[in-house]
């Protein structure tokens, strides 16, 4: 078994060293791993800081500010074309504002997938149910890891998943997430039609549900403060200005794409 950590990076020079250290300290020494950093339109010192670690297990790929979905697919394509992945290899997605803090995280997920052989998409953070509401989508029955943003903010509109607890959910949402390589082979990579961002995890979860797999939230330790910013940190970027429109477009797209699924689940 091998582990791959795909990390899209956009202008996180103030945090990216801690993101790197979080992965390096969380992964065990028992199994090999590769960190894949997609330097996605960075104009700051993020790349320089990462390369100062001189880590032979780090790979650097480059994109021209394509955002999260296409960055993740760049990482997945690299694994497919260059790494000879095995079916049980673990594929982690880690956003650039997430610091992993769970010891032997690869061993924990290896044991999880060995115990629950029908698992698909696993989030360490967030899950929900999904239903069609006219031509768009509605989320309900929200659950979140005790290490997630809502718990951090003291909100109470969700069910909290305690440390090491596993809770099944219809939709698992980044980040961090983990899935076995064989599930990507079966379900495919992220849908570029949803680019630049939004509801790609929902789409992946639905595809896995259609294939007969279960998704879940597995609450392991990580840190991600809402004040650190998101994949596109500055509020005046073009991506952030259009986020609401992109999300609504993607909700409507998923209703059309998975009309058969929602017809079945909403009965």
Residue 200 sits in a domain whose CATH number is 3.90.550.10
What's the pLDDT score for residue 149?
A: 87
What's the pLDDT score for residue 232?
A: 54
The domain of 84 spans: 3-265
pLDDT digits (tens, 9 = 90+) for 52-101: 999 999 999 999 999 999 999 999 999 999 999 999 999 999 999 999 99
DSSP-H helix ranges across 178-242? 181-187, 200-210, 238-241
What's the pLDDT score for residue 82?
A: 98
Distance CA 207, CA 234 (A): 33
111 φ, ψ (degrees, to nearest 5): -65, -35
Q: Which residues of the chain have pLDDT under 50?
A: 265-267
Domain count, the chain: 1
What's the pLDDT score for residue 153?
A: 83
8 A C-beta contact, residue 220 and residue 105: yes
pLDDT digits (tens, 9 = 90+) for 111-128: 999 999 999 999 999 999
Is the sign of the CA dihedral 194, 199, 47, 181 positive or negative? negative
Query: CA nearest 36: which of 74, 2, 88?
Result: 74
What's the pLDDT score for residue 264?
A: 64
What's the pLDDT score for residue 154?
A: 83
């Amino acid at each position: 078994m091998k582990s791959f950590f795909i990390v899209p990076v956009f202008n996180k020079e103030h945090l990216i060293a801690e993101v790197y250290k979080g992965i390096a300290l969380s992964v065990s020494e028992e199994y090999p791993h590769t960190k894949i950093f997609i330097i996605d339109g960075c104009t700051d010192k993020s790349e320089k800081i990462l390369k100062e670690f001189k880590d032979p297990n780090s790979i650097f790929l480059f994109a021209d500010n394509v955002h999260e979905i296409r960055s993740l697919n760049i990482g997945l394509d690299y694994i497919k074309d260059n790494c000879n992945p095995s079916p049980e290899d673990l594929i982690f997605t880690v956003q650039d504002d997430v610091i992993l803090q769970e010891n032997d995280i690869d061993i924990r997920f290896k044991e999880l997938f060995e115990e629950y052989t029908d698992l698909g998409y696993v989030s360490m953070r967030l899950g929900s149910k999904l239903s069609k509401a006219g031509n768009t989508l509605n989320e309900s029955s929200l659950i979140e890891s005790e290490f997630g943003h809502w718990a951090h903010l003291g909100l109470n509109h969700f069910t909290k998943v305690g440390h090491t607890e596993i809770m099944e959910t219809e939709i698992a949402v980044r980040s961090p997430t983990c899935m076995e390589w064989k599930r990507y082979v079966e379900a495919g990579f992220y849908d570029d039609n949803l680019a630049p961002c939004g509801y790609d995890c929902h789409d992946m979860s639905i595809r896995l549900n259609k294939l007969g797999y279960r998704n879940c939230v597995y609450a392991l330790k990580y840190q991600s403060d809402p004040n650190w910013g998101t994949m596109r940190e500055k509020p005046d970027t073009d991506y952030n200005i259009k986020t609401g429109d992109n999300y609504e477009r993607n909700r409507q797209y998923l209703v059309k794409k998975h009309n058969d699924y929602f017809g079945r689940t909403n009965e």
